[in-house]
Structure 1
Amino acid sequence: MSLMNMVTKVAIGFAVAKGMQKVQQSGGIGKMMDSLKGAAGGAGASQAGSGGGLGGMLGNLTGGSGAAGGIGGIGGLLGGLASARGGSGGSLEDLLRQDNPVEEPAQEETAGLMIRAMVMAARCDGEIDDTERETLMATIGEEATDADMAFVRDAMAEPVDAAALAASTPEGLETQVYSMSVMAIEPDNRAEAKYLHELAAALGIGQATANEIHDSFGVQRLYN
C-alpha cells in the first residue's frame, strides 16, 4: 500500500469508529467501503497523475475524473460522507475547487498531511480509545505495509497542536486539511469546538467558510 491509498482507508476507519448513524441510514458503511475499495483497486496505473491537491490525489486513487484537477475524486470521498451525514457534498466540492495549491506538493506528502489532520482531530478531546484504535487498524487492513502502519502510529503519538498542523500545511490545501479534520470527528463538545476554532484561525479559514464546511457534513456550526 502507500500513504495515498491509506487516506481513504483512514477516513473510512474514522467514519466507522465514530459511529455515523446517518451513514448506516444511507445504505451502510459497508456499502460505501465496498464502493471505495473497488474503485481504489484500479488506481495503481493512475498514481502518476497530478493536479488539484488532495482532489487530484484522490481522483487518481478512486479513478474519478472531475474538473479542477480531479476534484471529483475528493467529491467521491468527502462529498459522499458529507451527503451520508445529511450535509451537502456539492457545497463542499465547490469549496475545494477554490482551494488548489500554488505549487503542487508530492502526493505522498499530501496524503501524509491529510492522515495527520484526521488523527489529530480525533485525538483533540483525549486519546483515541481502544475501540476506535481497533476499528481504525482493522479498516486499514492487512495490505498496509509496516511503514504505513508506523506512519499512522507516529501520527497517533504526535502532540495535538492546531498551529503546528497549520504551519505544515502548504498554501492552497487549507480547506482540504480543515475538511478532513471535521470529517474525522463529531464536533459536539467543548474540546473539539476549541480545537477546530484554533485550526480554522491558524489556517486562515474565515467563520463563514468554516460554517459552510460544517454544513456540508451536517454537523454543528462553530459560529453563530
Structure 2
Amino acid sequence: MPHADDDVTSSIPAASVARLAAYLHVLRSFSEHGVVVASSGQLATAAGVNPAILRKDLSHVGANGVRGVGYDVGRLTARIALALRTSDTHNVALAGAGHLGRALLAHTGFGRGFRVVAMFDTDPDLVGTTFGTGGVEMIVAPMTELSAECAAKNVDIAVVATSDAIAQQTCDTFVLAGVRQILNFTTVALHTPPSVHVRPVDLALELQVLAFNASRRDSTSASTENAVSGATQKAVSV
C-alpha cells in the first residue's frame, strides 16, 4: 500500500537511511533515560558520527533543531520513525537454525516492526525442533518448504545464516519466492538481480578490521614511545 511520504523517503540516500536507524536507536535510549532535549553534538557522539553529517541526515526528514537548544527528543523520534516507516510490520524468514540463527531469533530487535514468521534448516536433526524465547517461537521447517512458506506468509525480508556452502542456493530460493530484501550473515558475496537489496554482515571481516586497527594503534604507540625516548636521551647527552 503506497505511503503519503513515499516521495520523501525514496529520495533519502541509502547511507543516510542506515544512520537514521542508528539515530532512532539513540533517541529511544535517550527517552528511556529521561532525556527530553538533545543537541546535535550529543546525538552525534552517541551515534558515532560527525555533527555536520548528523544535521545533513536529519535535513532529509525535515528535522531542524533549535539553535542553542537542540532537538526535542520525542518529536525527532516520531519524525524519523515516520520516515523509516517503523509502524509497518515486516515478516521475516530466517534460513539457518544453528547457533547464529537461534541467537538472531532471540534478538530483541525482532520485537519492533519485525516479525519472524518462518525458520528453515537442512539438518534433519533440527527440522521440527522449536526454538525461541520471549514469545517468539519457531518450529524449524525443511529448506524444501522455503518457497511455499515465504509465499504463504508474505515474507518480505530474509535472513541468510546458513553455512557458506548453501548460502547462494538459499538466496536464489528466497529471490524466486519473491523476497527482495536480504540480510546476509555468511562470508559469501551473494549474487542477485538489481531489484534485490542485500546487506552483508560479515562478523569475521569486522573482527579483522578491528584487529588491524588495534595493531596499527599499538605500532603507532610504540613508534611514538621510541621517538620520545630517543629525544630524551639526546637531551640528556647534551
Shorter-chain TM-score category? 0.3 to 0.5
Structure with more relative contact order (C-alpha pairs < 8 Å, separation 6 or more): 1
Q: Larger Cα Rg: Structure 1 or Structure 2?
A: 2
Normalization by structure 2: what TM-score? 0.31
Normalization by structure 1: what TM-score? 0.32
